[in-house]
C-alpha cells in the first residue's frame, strides 16, 4: 500500500515596501527553502531574490489577471506536498494585492497557511500620522471621480475611527479637497515614499494639507484622516465650514 503524500504549506511572505533592507531573516529563509515561489511580478521579485542571493527552485506568476485560475493550481501544489511562498511586489499579499483567492482555495481544502510578517505601508502610515491607532480602518484606494469619492468618504464616516488609505499622487489634491468638504477641517497626515530615500510625512489640519500640496507630489502616497473627529454636517453649513470635532489623543485608550 502506497504511503499517502503529506500536504505542504502555503506561506504568505511580506516583502519590502521600498527599502530592500526591510526583509526579515525568516522571510529570506522561507523563500530559499520553498519548492515554489508565486510572485505578483516575477521580474520584480527576481530582483529581490538576487539581492539576497536566493536561487528559486521554481518561480511562477500570481497576479490580478490570473489569480482566479492560479489559486487552484497553487492549492494543488500544496496538497501534493509542496511548500509554496506567495509574495506580492511590496508589502503583504492580500492587502490591496493578489492573495485573497489563493488563501481561500487553500482553506477550502484544509491546507496549512502561515504568515511571514514584515513591512506594511498601512501600519507605517498609521504610526507616522500620530493619529489614534487603537481603532482604525484601511480603505484601500478612493474612487477616482470627485462625486463618487465624496460619497465614499461620507460612507466611511460611519466607522468613527482613524481612516487609512492609499492614493495616486496625481489625485491627492482632489482627495484632500473632497475630504475637507465632507469632514470639515479635521487632522490629517500625508506620508510620501515610506522607507525610501525621500520619505516625508506632513501632518496638520486638512486646510494646511491642501496648502502644502496644491500640486501632485512625487512617489508613493498614503493618507490618514482622523475620522473619529469628523463632525456630522450642520444644517445649512457650507462645505468645508463644519466644526472640527474633538480629537482623541493616542494616550486616550480604553483600559485593558
- CATH number for position 162: 3.30.950.10
| Percentage of the chain lying above the pLDDT 70 cut | 88
Predicted confidence (pLDDT) at residue 252 exceeds the cutoff of 50: no
Q: What is the pLDDT of residue 64?
A: 79
Is 183 inside any structural domain? yes
Predicted confidence (pLDDT) at residue 3 exceeds the cutoff of 60: no
Q: What is the pLDDT of residue 192?
A: 98
Predicted confidence (pLDDT) at residue 97 exceeds the cutoff of 90: no
Dump pLDDT digits (tens) for 163-187: 999 999 999 999 999 999 999 999 9
Report yes or no: 178 and 209 within 8 Å, Cβ to Cβ.
no
Is 178 inside any structural domain? yes
Q: What is the pLDDT of residue 77?
A: 96
- Report helix, strand and coil shares of the chain as percent, to nearest 5: 35, 20, 45
Q: Across the beta sheet with 162-167, what order do the strands follow?
A: 136-138, 162-167, 221-225, 187-192, 200-205
Shared domain for 90 and 126, answered yes or no, is no
Q: What is the pLDDT of residue 96?
A: 84
Shared domain for 80 and 56, answered yes or no, is yes
Is 220 inside any structural domain? yes
Q: How far is CA 211 from the centre of its chain?
A: 26
Shared domain for 112 and 25, answered yes or no, is yes
Q: Pairing relation of β-strands 221-225 and 187-192?
A: antiparallel
State the DSSP string of 60-119.
Answer: EE--TTTHHHHHHHHHHHHHTT--EEEE-SSB-TTSSSS-HHHHHHHHHTT-EEEEE---
Instruction: Please state, rounded to an integer, the average pLDDT across all residues of the chain.
Output: 90
The grid coordinates of residue 11 equal 506561506
Q: What is the pLDDT of residue 68?
A: 79
Q: Look at 4 and 174; give whichever has higher pLDDT.
A: 174
Shared domain for 184 and 130, answered yes or no, is yes
Shared domain for 167 and 68, answered yes or no, is no
What does the alpha-carbon distance between residue 115 and residue 112 come to, in Å, rounded to a whole number? Answer: 10
Mean pLDDT, residues 125-154 = 97
Predicted confidence (pLDDT) at residue 10 exceeds the cutoff of 80: yes
Predicted confidence (pLDDT) at residue 255 exceeds the cutoff of 60: no
Q: What is the domain extent for residue 93? A: 9-116
Is 1 inside any structural domain? no
Q: What is the pLDDT of residue 237?
A: 52
Number of CB atoms found within 10 A of residue 81's CB: 13
| Number of independent structural domains in the chain | 2
How many CA atoms lie within 13 Å of 169's alpha carbon, on the beta-carbon side?
A: 9
Is 4 inside any structural domain? no
Predicted confidence (pLDDT) at residue 251 exceeds the cutoff of 70: no
Domain boundary among 116, 140, 175: 116
Shared domain for 175 and 210, answered yes or no, is yes
Amino acid at each position: 500500500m502506497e504511503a499517502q503524500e503529506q500536504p505542504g504549506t502555503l506561506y504568505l511572505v511580506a516583502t519590502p515596501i521600498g527599502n530592500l533592507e526591510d526583509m526579515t531573516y525568516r522571510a529570506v529563509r522561507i523563500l530559499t527553502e520553498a519548492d515554489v515561489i508565486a510572485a505578483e511580478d516575477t521580474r520584480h521579485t527576481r530582483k529581490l531574490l538576487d539581492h539576497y542571493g536566493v536561487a528559486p527552485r521554481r518561480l511562477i506568476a500570481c497576479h490580478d489577471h490570473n489569480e482566479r485560475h492560479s489559486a487552484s493550481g497553487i492549492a494543488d501544489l500544496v496538497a501534493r506536498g509542496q511548500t509554496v511562498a506567495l509574495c506580492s511586489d511590496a508589502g503583504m499579499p492580500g492587502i490591496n494585492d493578489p492573495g485573497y483567492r489563493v488563501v481561500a482555495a487553500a482553506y477550502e481544502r484544509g491546507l496549512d497557511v502561515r504568515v511571514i510578517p514584515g513591512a506594511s505601508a498601512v501600519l507605517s502610515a498609521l504610526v507616522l500620522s500620530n493619529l489614534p491607532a487603537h481603532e482604525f480602518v484601511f480603505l484601500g484606494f478612493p474612487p477616482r471621480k470627485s462625486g463618487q469619492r465624496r460619497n465614499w468618504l461620507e460612507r466611511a464616516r460611519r466607522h468613527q475611527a482613524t481612516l487609512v488609505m492609499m492614493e495616486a499622487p496625481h489625485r491627492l489634491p482632489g482627495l484632500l479637497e473632497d475630504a475637507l468638504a465632507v469632514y470639515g477641517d479635521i487632522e490629517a497626515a500625508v506620508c510620501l515614499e515610506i522607507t525610501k530615500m525621500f520619505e516625508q510625512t506632513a501632518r496638520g489640519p486638512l486646510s494646511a494639507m491642501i496648502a502644502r500640496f496644491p500640486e501632485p507630489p512625487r512617489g508613493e502616497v498614503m493618507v490618514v484622516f482622523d475620522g473619529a473627529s469628523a463632525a456630522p454636517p450642520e444644517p445649512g453649513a457650507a462645505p468645508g465650514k463644519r466644526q472640527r470635532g474633538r480629537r482623541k489623543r493616542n494616550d486616550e485608550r480604553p483600559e485593558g
